[in-house]
Structure 1
């Protein structure tokens, strides 16, 4: 997730983000006792990692990102969390090594989301939580707030656009969908390995 979302002083944006993490807490509650280790992939500057530490026992959490500079920022923000540099397309992890793998707002940036989900499937023992921007609502809200008009509301770097049915199809090809919810302007899924 972009850093600006977390440092935004807009009360509406703060409320949407707070609700987003409350939804993560809610959908993960039924599996909480099954979790002994958790990996967040695509942690960026570490703001999402910081929020996830409020939901999950931080001693269970590790994080990673492909960008070394972002990993350094994330490590400063989360000094007790192990944060690594690695590509989602080739994670430096053993097969079935995490009870829960978390991927928040990453798939829209990837040229090969199928390969990313294959890697999630490989390193997950049981569950994944995935979030994506809810399209076309995401673009509409960008335009309402006066952003990215030249790109019809498309956030820079978004190469995939996920509707509920599209993300269900992709995730359903690899996982059993346990829960899918909207947290405006995002879609959240809790999925389980078959």
Structure 2
């Protein structure tokens, strides 16, 4: 089966050298993963494949010189996620429920975090649901901009979204906030590796404690952050004060996604819609991508991870 999957991967990636290189590094460390990757790629639209190749090129820059370690950390991360999934399906809840517990078990463990962050980097290329919402961001958020915009991202992580925002001819200012100074230093290092030449302001901000933003932005992005917070409602209400009346916010949040540091459970699309509306936003569009492109109804009824991307405006 692995040989067949490898042949299928080779055919699909004949004109995608960056994606091919990322996948080759993973299969060298984890050859049994070929079948999963073949299914993930086979389900992607041409637009998603173009997004995959663009993200893969950036990921290669970030992992240059440590490809083997990053691939091994991806496998390690998948093992940790599998453990969380077993707990979730047995107990019907996430294992942790407070930021304090996540800090004690995950964020303060530097060796653990290094491997976890590496592993999550590769998921941006390899997982169908992750590339689905990223393609949405590239084409229906950034690609829909027709006027110069001031950009804010909360929780920039590896810096991939900031990198692509900086590449937009319409981005006139770029800012990113995070609660962790350490995370911001890592984002800065990532942006340097990616060769971002536009100025990017990185600021330490706790959006759960801030009252009102003293600046306003045309485009705000908060991707895979709300599930890490005890009060995502407070976070979105604060961001409402930071968005210009004619601005847009892009919210990416996973449903039924057990991870070592996920503490807030979104179970259904209605959970997300209710949160966004209660914060004072009107949803323009919402796209959902289930793991391995499974049918959405099947994924929701079986509590399989779905990534939900929401584009909204202030009411």
TM range (shorter): 0.7 to 0.9
TM-aligned CA distance change 1:113 to 1:11, over 3 Å? closer
TM-aligned CA distance change 1:167 to 1:72, over 3 Å? same
Which residue of the partner structure matches residue 120 of structure 2?
A: 5
Deviation at 1:30, TM superposition (A): 7.1
Mapped to 2, the partners of 1:11 and 1:4 lie a distance apart of 11
Deviation at 1:109, TM superposition (A): 0.8
Aligned length: 174
Mapped to 2, the partners of 1:52 and 1:4 lie a distance apart of 23
Deviation at 1:61, TM superposition (A): 2.1
Which protein has the bigger helix share? 2
Which residue of the partner structure matches residue 272 of structure 2?
A: 167
Alignment of 1:132-143 (within 5 A): 132-135=253-256, 138=257
Which residue of the partner structure matches residue 201 of structure 2?
A: 82
Q: Is 1:177–2:283 an aligned residue pair?
A: yes
More displaced stretch, 69-78 vs 26-35: 26-35
TM-aligned CA distance change 1:53 to 1:22, over 3 Å? farther
**What secondary structure sits across from 2:156 in the alignment?**
coil
Deviation at 1:46, TM superposition (A): 2.5
Which structure has the bigger radius of gyration? 2
**What secondary structure sits across from 1:33 in the alignment?**
coil
Instruction: Report the TM-score, using the length of structure 1 for normalisation.
Output: 0.77
Which residue of the partner structure matches residue 91 of structure 2?
A: none
Which residue of the partner structure matches residue 248 of structure 2?
A: 127
Mapped to 2, the partners of 1:7 and 1:30 lie a distance apart of 24
Which protein has the bigger strand share? 1
Mapped to 2, the partners of 1:86 and 1:109 lie a distance apart of 15
Which residue of the partner structure matches residue 33 of structure 1?
A: 146
Instruction: Please report the RMSD computed on the Cα atoms of aligned residues, expressed in angstroms.
Output: 2.7
Deviation at 1:84, TM superposition (A): 1.1
More displaced stretch, 80-89 vs 174-183: 80-89
TM-aligned CA distance change 1:161 to 1:181, over 3 Å? same
Q: Which runs of 5+ in 1 are unaligned?
A: 139-153
TM-aligned CA distance change 1:92 to 1:169, over 3 Å? closer
Q: 2:147·2:170 contact (CA, 8 Å) conserved in 1?
A: no
Deviation at 1:193, TM superposition (A): 0.5
Mapped to 1, the partners of 2:117 and 2:314 lie a distance apart of 29
Mapped to 2, the partners of 1:38 and 1:74 lie a distance apart of 16
Instruction: Report the TM-score, using the length of structure 2 for normalisation.
Output: 0.49
Q: 2:133·2:308 contact (CA, 8 Å) conserved in 1?
A: no
Which residue of the partner structure matches residue 64 of structure 2?
A: none
Deviation at 1:168, TM superposition (A): 0.3
Mapped to 2, the partners of 1:22 and 1:110 lie a distance apart of 25
**What secondary structure sits across from 1:32 in the alignment?**
coil
Mapped to 2, the partners of 1:30 and 1:73 lie a distance apart of 27
**What secondary structure sits across from 1:37 in the alignment?**
strand
Q: Which runs of 5+ in 2 are unaligned?
A: 1-115, 193-198, 291-305
TM-aligned CA distance change 1:11 to 1:56, over 3 Å? same
Which residue of the partner structure matches residue 151 of structure 1?
A: none
Q: Is 1:113–2:244 an aligned residue pair?
A: no
